[in-house]
A and B are shown apart, each in its own frame.
Chain A
């Protein structure tokens, strides 16, 4: 904390932190000094020259935005000379400025024109010259238009792109009076711009304006602005939704609030079109004679409840199961799991977390006693070293990545471990590119180097690890097999690079790890994470600030859904269902006989599908999931679903899964509901209703409550999500101190046990959450895959995501903007393999695995190693999960989306 000092502004004594920005200090204290190039989130520029002040004992006029405050400074902010001067500067700006205004943006120059009485041309000292300056208009971007005639050359967009987002896409071109903003070589669309719109949000004069709704949008006529959490990834960005006629017309980031402090990515800013899509489900539908017919809610609910009851009676409660949703709120997931446990009478509730971080969570629960990320998103900027493994963080968690890039600019060391090139490699100090599925060997190799070089933290091991040095010895023995030579042989990563990475990570003052799907979605997913944890523990890079292990979460409420009990093994707040005391406690809160709660763990996602395939599960209730696309081995999934007697799918759109449903129930989207979600850094954040749900679509929790009631179960009477949250906070101690009132502006990170608890920004500072309070080392060996390339299937396919599409693309592909950037599937093939197969870039190819085949387009690139390929899995016309296998990780039951043998042929 810097020292608080006193300065005087126009004779008023003002307190400020020493060295803080004078213009900001003045404005914070009510001195409305004009200024257009200054923005509190950017370094000062000193370009517009409007913020002139006088400082005692300093000659001349001073740009206040460039001055750090010092004790005793005496400032004149307003006098006639300064105001004359500002007026003159403004009239200069107006001379080169095209003032056409269409009210589709907030214009910062217009209020100044009024303030300085320069509205009438006759009041202006200068005649316009802007018509004589070459006008550059760049209309090529799908998201924005740039018009140099409206640009005041303030640098805010350039700095927004560079300093806030870490991208550096923008620059000025030319110089002097004719300079203008350029992206790429003059065409925005062919530049590195990824459409995040940070520049739009910071442009003060409408030179860079958002394209969607440009023609119709009048900012002054907006009906409402609502702050809510972004519906896409697990970063949990706070967004401000502009609504006109019950339609979302714009989304901006909210400043000064974690985790994003105003930043958004292209999906968060432009991916909202799905909410107002004409394709939304608006009425309940029952399939009759193979055709869906619109029915009333009464009829639908009666039908659903009677079918569930009938099947339960006929086949027993074990014949029912549900998929909850990471796209629904905490309150809805809480109600859904309550529904399953009470109305279905079992624990067969799971959701897509099983498909993403189940293995990570399994390993972390065993080692640390907690499955959530240990740090805050902001820590990604300030830690000394960041190791990113199997996580294309720039594309999948763009806002977390902004912190990483800013950290890099300030000298952070970055290690990337990924078999495929990702954009983060550009920022990396070392990139380890192991062959697919050799992570355990790689990490054991790093552990070996760390031990051999004495980079371990003995103190930490002795005090914070169960078994202390003895546990360490067992790891040391196992790791000794993974000599640098041996590791290089298995992984293909050179000894030198291994050494460099090990040294950077182990010897950094603070180091954090981000681990993604590349690690978790393997048959050895849990072991992968155990190895990471082992490295973390022996180096002591956890259990202190800016150190730890973080799995950035994919869906905006994937964290929350597990936290609130959408799990076959845990009640809300990670309380195991198998413990009788737990059941008693939960039964009391739920006001049900504790004997009615099933003491046995339920089935997991893939187990549920397998049980359906085997005829053991007869009916399913799917809320907001699309397993046909997201589950591995699509053919198997479809067969399983077809075998069900009864399938209810509750969603906002028809999906590949609703096709097989008996009843489709229309639900409200995230923009249409109140409630909360939990983001990747355990922050409980508000959802607020911005628009109405279309047609007769209803809130998910209300539908569950109604079905339960018609099945004869009262699962609660709530007036609002706030009521539900209050019950949740009672059931789950980690939420105990959180109320809607407390998170009105800023979210709170769990655990937060009581109303005075501030929340927890870093986990494990004092102790781990295991019984002993210490972390556990689980030494694990490298195992070869059961499926390996062979003559029939000579290549291995990896899969993953793109920035512009999202998961099964149900939401993102409704956005014209997102589709304009990326709307086609492809398979990346190494140039050497391409030569062997006689393929060139753009060729149509057929990709076949032992499970199935698909057609797509070849993209030849050295982003992947020889023998490996990569496909994005968003596109239903090239469904990657037709190729993946349903073999699962024995510990976490996760599917191996990252490793399937394939062959590629030209069509």
Chain B
């Protein structure tokens, strides 16, 4: 059944040697790029805009629009950058790694096309430091692309030139936030920048920069090759295309699944992932990772799409689907989540630095009562309103939803 769904990011999954550009080319690779280089940058941006593709990193911002802004920003000496956010660190998320490990050329192709649309001269793939296999794969793919004329001067004889390099993270979840990622890429401590300006206006080294997630870039060749009409046939009204879902927990076949937006949780878990492991009973899920939302079984039939989840107060986030079962210790899970935020807070702004500590201290309290729940929700709401970057806003959703659905387990 799974194979009957259209594939974009994982179209070559397991079918090619990820180190081989020949394999990649023989399986439809670089068709999009070659086509793109014959088109005007504006027309490609237009097509991406029409495709309805939204950022797959979690925030879901329209990709074409971002590209348009970046391309339209005034840049000193016309220098613009493309940066791939491959700092996958959201707990429960491992989809970008899957792309980089199985089809690295796809990411590079997506980046080159995107770079071309904004006429960027240089790009970086910022990969989290622990993803050794991904790092090696991307390094190797970049090297081969230079050798074969897909990177460097005069790409494929088009006259367009683009340099690509990798950059490494070193253990900071916050660096997955785009502005913090740029700080880190500039060799600094990972502090979020004041927004605005957004990267489209002032990004890397203060110049216009297009930042997208790995999965997002992996959709670009498809859209260019097959056209936005073809792309927007996939998915729901408000959420176009496919999505990578990272299924974890006590499920029979855990892993990454590429499925059209709008599939239900029930289909994902019970039809595709083989249902619960023996001895475990489905109880709910944590969608979107540590910064995501808890849901209970009432969500089983809700289509997994931006708009449908939003309507019910939940989020898709990065695509993490952490399944909770009857034996899951939710208190432990919450301690783990809040300890994570405390550990990853950069400490720049007061609400997040101190708030994450206060919440962590409170969740550890043996017997939590209504006052505690109220208190925690108050602090989390305050943090949402006052924090500098998304990290300080992150504890809010898991706290509120866990209290809503699983209060008695705390």
Contact = CB atoms under 8 A, between A and B. Distances in A.
B356 interface: yes
Contacts of B190: 175
Nearest to B190: A175
A585 to B, nearest CB: 58
Interface string B336-347: 000000111111
Contacts of B385: 60-61, 85
B350 A89 contact: yes
Given A177-B345, A177-B353, 8 more contacts: A47-B388, A52-B386, A66-B194, A126-B358, A129-B357, A152-B350, A153-B353, A177-B347
Nearest to B386: A49
Chain A CB count within 10 A is highest, among B343, B353, B356, for B353
Contacts of A44: 194
B206 to A, nearest CB: 12
Interface residues of B, number: 26
Given A66-B194, A172-B189, A176-B344, A49 B349 contact: yes
A499 interface: no
Contacts of B354: 92-93, 95-96, 129, 177
B346 A88 contact: no
A324 to B, nearest CB: 52
Given A85-B385, A92-B354, A46 B194 contact: yes
A743 to B, nearest CB: 40
B355 interface: yes
B373 interface: no
Nearest to A89: B350
Interface string A517-548: 00000000000000000000000000000000
A45 B354 CA distance: 17
A49 B194 contact: no
A846 interface: no
B260 interface: no
Nearest to A68: B196
Contact of B350 (A66, A93, A179): A93
A817 interface: no
A47 B349 CA distance: 4
Contacts of A176: 342-347, 353, 356-357
Interface in A1-59: 44-49, 52
A795 B361 CA distance: 68
A160 B354 CA distance: 24
A171 interface: yes
B345 A85 contact: no
A583 B386 CA distance: 74
Interface in A125-155: 126, 129, 152-153, 155
Contacts of B194: 44, 46, 63, 66
A46 B349 contact: yes
A129 B356 contact: no
A44 B194 CA distance: 9
Contacts of A49: 349-351, 386-388
Interface in B338-395: 342-351, 353-358, 361, 382, 385-388
A61 B345 CA distance: 21
Interface string A621-636: 0000000000000000
A89 B349 CA distance: 10
Query: 3 closest Cβ contacts across the A-B interface?
Result: A176-B345, A92-B354, A179-B347
A126 B346 CA distance: 22
Interface of B: 172, 189-190, 194, 342-351, 353-358, 361, 382, 385-388
Interface string A168-196: 00011001111100000000000000000
Chain A CB count within 10 A is highest, among B189, B346, B350, B361, for B350
A418 B388 CA distance: 47
A85 B347 contact: no
Nearest to B189: A172
Contacts of A85: 382, 385-386
A175 B350 contact: no
B200 to A, nearest CB: 18
Given A88-B382, A177-B342, A47 B356 contact: no
Chain A CB count within 10 A is highest, among B343, B356, B385, for B385
B189 A95 contact: no
Contacts of A93: 350, 354
5 contacts: A47-B350, A93-B350, A172-B189, A176-B342, A176-B346
A154 to B, nearest CB: 9
A92 B351 contact: yes
Contacts of A155: 348
B290 to A, nearest CB: 15
A76 B361 CA distance: 35
Contacts of B189: 171-172, 175
Contacts of A152: 350
Interface string A209-252: 00000000000000000000000000000000000000000000
Nearest to B188: A171
Nearest to B342: A176
B133 to A, nearest CB: 27
A153 B351 CA distance: 12
A688 B358 CA distance: 52
Contact of A61 (B348, B361, B386): B386
A190 to B, nearest CB: 21
Nearest to A153: B347
A656 to B, nearest CB: 51
B75 to A, nearest CB: 16
Chain A CB count within 10 A is highest, among B172, B348, B349, B382, for B348
Contacts of A175: 172, 189-190, 345-347
A642 B386 CA distance: 76
Interface string A82-95: 00010011001101
Nearest to B389: A46
A198 B250 CA distance: 58
Given A49-B386, A85-B386, A89-B386, A129 B361 contact: yes
Contacts of B388: 46-47, 49, 63
A177 B351 CA distance: 11
Given A46-B388, A52-B386, A177-B357, A89 B342 contact: no
A179 B357 CA distance: 13
B295 to A, nearest CB: 26
Contacts of A179: 346-347
Contacts of A95: 354, 358
Contacts of A63: 194, 388
B353 A48 contact: no
A155 B353 CA distance: 14
A179 B347 CA distance: 7
Contacts of B356: 176-177
Nearest to B382: A88
Contacts of A129: 354, 357-358, 361
B179 to A, nearest CB: 12
B202 to A, nearest CB: 13
A566 B242 CA distance: 86
A48 B388 CA distance: 10
A92 B342 contact: no
Contacts of A177: 342, 345, 347, 353-354, 356-357
Given A171-B189, A172-B189, A92 B345 contact: no
Chain A CB count within 10 A is highest, among B355, B361, B382, B386, for B386
B350 A48 contact: yes
Nearest to A179: B347
A48 B351 CA distance: 8
A45 B172 CA distance: 21
Nearest to A46: B194
Contacts of B357: 96, 129, 176-177
Contacts of B342: 176-177
A88 B386 CA distance: 10
A819 B385 CA distance: 51
A496 B348 CA distance: 46
Chain B CB count within 10 A is highest, among A52, A88, A177, for A177
A95 B379 CA distance: 14
